[in-house]
Amino acid sequence: MTYNNLEISTEDKIGLITINRPKALNALNKETIEELSNAFGELESNEDIRVIILTGSGEKAFVAGADIKEFKDFDGKQGQQLAQVGQTILFNKIENLKKPVIAAVNGYALGGGLELAMSCHFRIASDNALLGLPEVTLGLIPGYGGTQRLPKLIGKGRAMQAIMTAEMFKAEKAEQIGLVNEVVALEELLPRAKKIASKIAFNSPVAISKAIEVINLSDSDKGFEAEINAFGELFDAEDFKEGTTAFLDKRKPNF
C-alpha cells in the first residue's frame, strides 16, 4: 500500500510508522487518519512484524492535533461524526491491536496527537516533548478518547486540571505523572524505542497478544475472569510448550 502522509519501514520484526506532514506539524486530517488505520491493519496482519513503533517526522512534533483547518466549518453533526469515525477506525483499533504499539513522542503531542499517543500501549518521549489537551482553547473538548484515557493514566483530578487549563506537560513532568514511561534525548528516541521493541519481539507473541487483551479489561468488571480464561488458553498454545521446554533445556526460547 502507498501512503501520502505516512512512511512505513520494517526491520527485525519491528514496524515503524512515521506520520509525515511536517508543514502542518503532522496534524491529523481525514486522509492521515484513514492511512494510519490502514497501516496498522497492514502491519497487524504482517507475520514478520511483532511490534509497531509510531512517531512523527521532524524534530518539532509528534502530532499537533486534529487538523483544525479541516474541521473549522463543521456543524454539530459533522463534529460528532469526526469523533465517532476517528475513535472507531483508529484510536480504539490501536488500543485493541493484537500487536504492541509504542508511541515515540518526538515533540508536540497536542489534542488528537496526545490522544493518539495515549491509545498506544505505552509511550516514551524525547526531552523536547510537550504534551497536552488544549481543545478548550478552541471551544471544544477532546474527541478522540482524551477525556477517557487521560484520567486512567494520570488520575481524574490531574486530568480535570489538565483539560480545563489546557496546560502542556513538559516531558519530565509527563514521566513523573505516568503519562510517558521514559524520557530520552531526541537522538536516542528511536534507538531506545527499537531496543524496547526488540526485547518484546523476543517474547511469545501469543502471550503478549493475550496480555494486551486482558490488561485492556483492567477497568471493567470482566478483567479477572478474562485473565483466568486467557491464562488457561495459553496452556494449549505452542508457545507455552516452547517456552517451558526451552527453560528446562537451559536455552533461549524460539517463538
Residue among 11, 47, 115, 175 flagged as catalytic: 115
CB of 67 to ligand CAA, least distance (A): 4
CB of 23 to ligand CAA, least distance (A): 6
Taking the least distance from each CB to ligand CAA, the nearer of 3 and 108 is 108
Whether residue 115 lies in the annotated active site: yes
Q: Which is it for strands 130-132 and 108-110: parallel, antiparallel or unpaired?
A: parallel
Residue among 31, 135, 188, 227 flagged as catalytic: 135
CB of 118 to ligand CAA, least distance (A): 11
Taking the least distance from each CB to ligand CAA, the nearer of 142 and 243 is 142
Taking the least distance from each CB to ligand CAA, the nearer of 159 and 214 is 159
- State the Cα–Cα distance between residues 16 and 7, nearest whole angstrom: 8
Determine contact, residues 47/15, Cβ cutoff 8 Å.
Answer: no
CB of 73 to ligand CAA, least distance (A): 14
Taking the least distance from each CB to ligand CAA, the nearer of 100 and 142 is 142
CB of 42 to ligand CAA, least distance (A): 24
Least Cα distance to 86 among 17, 138, 37 occurs for: 37
Cell numbers 472507531 label which residue? 88
Whether residue 34 lies in the annotated active site: no
Environment class of 46 (CB within 10 Å of its CB; exposed 0-12, middle 13-18, buried 19+): middle
User: If DSSP codes are grouped into helix, strand and coil, which group holds residue 209?
Assistant: helix
Environment class of 191 (CB within 10 Å of its CB; exposed 0-12, middle 13-18, buried 19+): exposed
Q: Name the CA radius of gyration of the chain, rounded.
A: 19
Taking the least distance from each CB to ligand CAA, the nearer of 40 and 144 is 144
Determine contact, residues 7/20, Cβ cutoff 8 Å.
Answer: yes
Instruction: Report the interface residues with ligand CAA, using CB under 6 A.
Output: 24-25, 27, 64-69, 108, 110-112, 115, 134-135, 138, 140, 142-144, 146
Taking the least distance from each CB to ligand CAA, the nearer of 4 and 254 is 4
For residue 232, CA distances in Å to 27, 171, 225, 235, 241 come to 43, 40, 11, 6, 13
- State the Cα–Cα distance between residues 190 and 55, nearest whole angstrom: 9
CB of 100 to ligand CAA, least distance (A): 24
Query: Annotated catalytic sites, by residue?
Result: 115, 135
